[in-house]
Amino acid sequence: MKVIIAEKPSVAREIAKVFGATTKKDGYMEGKGFTFTWAFGHLLQLAPPQEYGFYGWNVHNLPMLPAKFKLSIRKVKTKDGLVEDPGVRKQLNIIQALFDEATDIIVATDAGREGELIFRYIYYYLKCKKPFKRLWISSQTDEAIKEGFRNLKPGSDYDTLFNSAHCRSQSDWLVGMNATQALSISSGTRSVLSLGRVQTPTLAMICSRYLENKSFVPQLFYQVSIQVDKEGQVFRAVSTENFKSKEEAQVLIDQVEDVASGFPLGGHILAVEAKPRKEPPPLLHDLSSLQQEANKKNGFTADQTLNLLQNLYESKLVTYPRTGSRYIGDDVFAGIPALLEKFKDHETFGKQALFLTGVKLNKRSVNVKKVTDHHAVLPTGEKPYNLSADKQAIFDLVLGRTLEAFHQECIKEITKITVQSGAKYIASGTVISSAGWRAVFNEPDEEKKDEDNASLPKVKEGENLPVVDKALLEKQTKPKPLYNEASLLKALETAGKEIDDEELRYAMKDSGLGTPATRAAIIETLLKRDYILREKKNLVPTQTGLAVYEVVKDHKIAQAELTGNWEKRLEEIRSGASVTDFQEEIKTYTRSITQELLKAGAGLKLKPV
DNA sequence: GCAAGGTC
């Protein structure tokens, strides 16, 4: 019997379908001499400190450096505290029974570091010794699966990938567990002050932005605007220069040749520029972009959006949600016309879906090289029925974006008129001449500059027009805004882009901080720890959060560079570099951060609980 | 009581 193990049930089902295996059993499927089983993500985790004899939270245990890490079954929170997840225990038993019977094991967990780890932890935990082969595919279409099976790799080809994954896991444990206990113990409060490679830089980003925003001193500046009349249609033009003082602006205003000052035709048109600008459709959604959009449009938190999307996925209405790719491959693209066809009777989007069935589709989101483990989120084509308002909203964002992504460019006329009246003034305006993809949601352009006129009258160079009004504009410079969930998710994705060290920057370029699957959970952790809170749509630090930030802000653990450094080393391990060298460095770092925090925590400015 | 990672 050949046993195929996938990372999750949906993938096992897809593969079974390709093989024509349809018999459903408890925890697996079978047919044609094959058995298809699955995990539910990580079933096993590195065992907690007490399993190595580190009981309680005691300074004498620190730093905790287990000689050999153990694995333990994933836990769930219940009213009796943390207990083994019974569903996980059951699935492990099923996998064990299947592995015992197996002649061949084929590993079909996701093609990446964590996918490798998910399988290996199961394999080693079950003490399985049978050889295994690896299926390595990046898309789950029938053809990709078949091709992958013709091309199975020896399992040992991925030993170094497992090494890098295991190192990632152990390093996060060592640094996170020790730093958390060190700070919590030394703070003298009895609360949990957690720290980690991802959560602490995230907290630092929120805190530093908050402090920057609060200490920002707005600068006043002045501009002059004039109103110009073209045969009854009045438009506004603004001075090209900004002034620090009112007096300087007043000089300009006094020079305006307006009607009231005795100039019937004092607005001289120096130049008129009109150029079309093509705006390509947005890319399909990955999880993060969808969370950002849902936060902006519907006010949903990242966690809410993930849950709603997971729900739609379980109802088979959308494809795999925790994707980090905004692209699809050519194979999936081939199915798009049929997919669009299915929504041509849709209440809100039907008209646009119908339109797309008759035109050449935009292929901006089609790029197989940019599809990682999973492709962008798409509707499956199943019709939703009786969804809750929230789920419907998320489904509509997915469907709407799908229509947008394959739609035509939006074409805008951008007009710029330069007027001389004393000094130079500029009027700019944008008119959409062909909506293209913007017809889907038909919403106003997000950030229109406030100087913009919706549309400008037709004027010609050399014309002289009356200036009917003038005004002094008093404005203020603005601070960078506080983070909200949308901007924080974006910042986590792009974290590392500003690292000075080129190698570290490169190592982080595809990752950022955290992963699509974990970012919502990171935000929730910071909320649960009482480090941050939601204030309207913003995420702001609490007193506790700021106090922790003050203690750790100059340490590596608060910086995105730490992840960059790890990613660089982990990639080296994947291509064969020494595992023990890195592990020794991590131990050294663990010892030093633990010592530092044991001292620093005492200086924590916290009210006792 | 604690990390980050994956997923029902």
**DSSP 8-state assignment for residue A519:** H
CA A519 to C1' B8, whole Å: 18
Structure tokens at A536: 């309207």
Cβ(A171)–Cβ(A556) below 8 Å: no
Cβ(A135)–Cβ(A553) below 8 Å: no
Q: What's the pLDDT tens digit per position in A196-211? A: 999 999 999 999 999 9
Neighbour tally for A388: CB within 10 Å: 10
Taking 80 as the threshold, does the pLDDT of residue A288 lie above it?
yes
Rounded Cα–Cα distance for residues A366 and A360 (Å)? 14
Rounded Cα–Cα distance for residues A305 and A486 (Å)? 11
Q: Identify nearest nucleotide to residue A168 by CA to C1′ distance.
A: B4
**DSSP 8-state assignment for residue A412:** E
Neighbour tally for A439: CB within 10 Å: 17
CA A75 to C1' B2, whole Å: 14
Look up the protein residue whose alpha carbon has the minimum distance to the C1' of B8: A40
Which amino acids of A are annotated catalytic? 320
The mean pLDDT value for A25-44 works out to: 96
pLDDT at A602: 79
List, in sequence order, every residue forming a beta bridge with A464; answer none if it has no partner.
A268
Taking 70 as the threshold, does the pLDDT of residue A487 lie above it?
yes
CA A350 to C1' B5, whole Å: 40
Q: What's the pLDDT tens digit per position in A503-546? A: 888 888 878 999 999 999 999 999 999 999 999 999 999 999 99
3-class SS of residue A296: helix
List, in sequence order, every residue forming a beta bridge with A76; answer none if it has no partner.
A83
pLDDT grade for A447, boundaries at 50, 70 and 90: low
3-class SS of residue A606: coil
Q: What's the pLDDT tens digit per position in A118-152? A: 999 999 999 999 999 999 987 778 888 999 999 99
Look up the protein residue whose alpha carbon has the minimum distance to the C1' of B1: A192
pLDDT at A608: 53
pLDDT at A372: 73
Which nucleotides of strand B come closer than 7 angstroms to any CB of the protein? 1-8
Q: How far is CA A150 from CA A97, A102, A104, A147, A201, in A?
A: 27, 20, 15, 5, 44
Look up the protein residue whose alpha carbon has the minimum distance to the C1' of B2: A177
Q: What's the pLDDT tens digit per position in A75-130? A: 998 887 889 999 999 999 999 999 999 999 999 999 999 999 999 999 999 999 99
**DSSP 8-state assignment for residue A267:** E
Taking 80 as the threshold, does the pLDDT of residue A352 lie above it?
yes
Could you write out the DSSP letters of every residue in A305-341? Answer: HHHHHHHHHHTTSBS-SS-----B-HHHHTTHHHHHH
- Determine how β-strand A464-465 pairs with β-strand A267-279: antiparallel
The pLDDT > 90 percentage for chain A reads 81
pLDDT at A448: 57
Rounded Cα–Cα distance for residues A169 and A586 (Å)? 12
Name all domains of chain A by residue range, CATH numbers in brackets: 2-151 (3.40.50.140), 164-215+482-603 (1.10.460.10), 220-280+410-476 (2.70.20.10), 287-405 (1.10.290.10)
